[in-house]
């Protein structure tokens, strides 16, 4: 059958083949990049020999999972634990026996939900391991190169389990989404945003981009639409896609403040003088 090759730049896994793919569509897209040395490939078997997954509890009911040493984009997945089943938010390329055993010990997975194509990685392997559906917004269907077990959802929002809802925001990608976890932050509400809403290094502000590595901004209309999509949901805390990227409290005010700052920056010729 051949190997299910994985792109080392973005972590996307392809259907089994005798030879590596000719190109990675994620990396060839203007939002990502192909390294100067060209596209390179690995497999799960190779990843398992040199990498491990680390787990960290962020708050009661929320556990972060990330690969060490860092691989590809370096994002973390977030495991939301609920009485009605656990939800994995976003995905990482490495899945191994230890990871499966730990997550099963925590109650397994009811569903896997994705923010956007940069984190699709090995979603089919994760879905199979836990017998869980993989939820991808219809707007990003074209980027799912493996679709076994993938459910494409439509509309502005979708309940995953009670208290956990997917919200379509667009912006970074047509189908970009966030996850709202109502019981999080001691009932004040949490947003898990990937980089649809990017938590900045000071952990007090966010930003929005069409492409982060290539520094391509979004329009005013696009960022206003993203923030409008999350306004109906109460939240006091935001967790981003990387270690130590979270706004601990008053996150809703921080998002609104960051929106105003972004608009002022893209619409003012000189941010110091206002001219």
Q: What is the pLDDT of residue 270?
A: 61
Taking residues 166-190, what's their average pLDDT?
A: 97
Q: Give the pLDDT of residue 260.
A: 96
The candidate with the shortest Cα–Cα distance to 232, out of 268, 160, 178, 152, is: 178
Mean pLDDT across the stretch 144-170?
97
Cα–Cα distance, 52 to 216 (Å, whole number) = 33
What's the whole-number mean pLDDT along residues 208-236?
96
Q: What does the buried/exposed string (b/e) look like for 169-204 if buried means 16 or more CB atoms within 10 Å of the residue's CB?
A: bbbbbbbbbbbbbbbbbeebbbbbbbbbbbbeeebe
Residue 2 pLDDT class (50, 70, 90 cuts): confident
Residue 267: its H or E element: helix 251-267
What's the confidence (pLDDT) of residue 75?
97
**Residue 169's closest CA among 211, 132, 114?**
114
Look at 213 and 77; give whichever has higher pLDDT.
77
CA 105/CA 165 separation, integer angstroms: 24
**Angstrom distance (rounded) from CA 123 to CA 143:** 12
Mean pLDDT calculated for residue range 174-191? 98
Give the pLDDT score at 27.
95
What whole-number distance in Å separates Cα of residue 68 and Cα of residue 53? 6
Exposed/middle/buried for residue 47 (C-beta within 10 Å: 0-12, 13-18, 19+):
buried
Asked whether 65 and 54 are in contact (CB, 8 A), the reply is yes
Q: Do the Cβ atoms of 111 and 125 come closer than 8 Å?
A: no
pTM of the predicted structure, to 2 decimals: 0.95
What whole-number distance in Å separates Cα of residue 135 and Cα of residue 115? Answer: 9
pLDDT at 269: 55
Evaluate the omega torsion of the peptide bond into residue 133 and state whether it is cis, within 30 degrees of 0: no
Q: What is the mean pLDDT of the chain?
A: 95
Q: Are 239 and 190 in contact (CB under 8 A)?
A: yes
Mean pLDDT along residues 249-265 = 96
Using the structure block, give the residue that is written with the tokens 């208290």. 163
Instruction: Please answer whether residues 131 and 103 qualify as being in contact, where contact means their C-beta atoms are separated by less than 8 angstroms.
Output: no
- Say whether pLDDT at 255 is over 60: yes
pLDDT digits (tens, 9 = 90+) for 39-51: 999 999 999 999 9
């Amino acid at each position: 059958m051949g190997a299910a090759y994985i792109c080392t730049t973005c972590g996307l896994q392809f259907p089994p083949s005798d030879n590596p793919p000719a190109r990675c569509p994620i990396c060839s897209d203007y939002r990502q990049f192909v390294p100067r040395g060209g596209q390179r490939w690995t497999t799960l078997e190779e990843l398992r020999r040199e990498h491990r997954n680390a787990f960290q509890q962020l708050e009661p009911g929320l556990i972060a999972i990330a690969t060490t040493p860092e691989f590809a984009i370096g994002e973390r997945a977030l495991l939301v634990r609920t009485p009605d089943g656990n939800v994995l938010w976003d995905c990482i390329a490495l899945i191994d026996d230890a990871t499966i055993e730990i997550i099963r010990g925590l109650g397994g997975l009811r569903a896997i939900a994705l923010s956007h194509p940069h984190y699709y990685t090995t979603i089919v392997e994760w879905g199979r391991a836990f017998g869980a559906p993989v939820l991808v917004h219809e707007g990003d269907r074209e980027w799912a190169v493996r679709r076994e077990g993938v459910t494409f959802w439509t509309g502005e929002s979708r309940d995953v389990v009670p208290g956990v809802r997917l919200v379509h925001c667009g912006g970074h990608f047509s189908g970009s989404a966030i996850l709202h976890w109502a019981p999080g932050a001691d009932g004040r509400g949490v947003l898990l945003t990937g980089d649809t809403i990017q938590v900045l290094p000071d952990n007090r502000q966010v930003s929005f981009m069409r492409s982060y590595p290539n520094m391509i901004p979004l329009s005013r209309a696009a960022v206003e639409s993203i923030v409008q999509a999350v306004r109906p949901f109460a939240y006091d805390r935001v967790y981003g896609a990387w270690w130590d990227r979270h706004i601990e409290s008053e996150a809703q005010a921080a998002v609104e403040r960051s929106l105003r700052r972004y608009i002022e920056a893209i619409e003012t010729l000189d941010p110091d003088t206002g001219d």
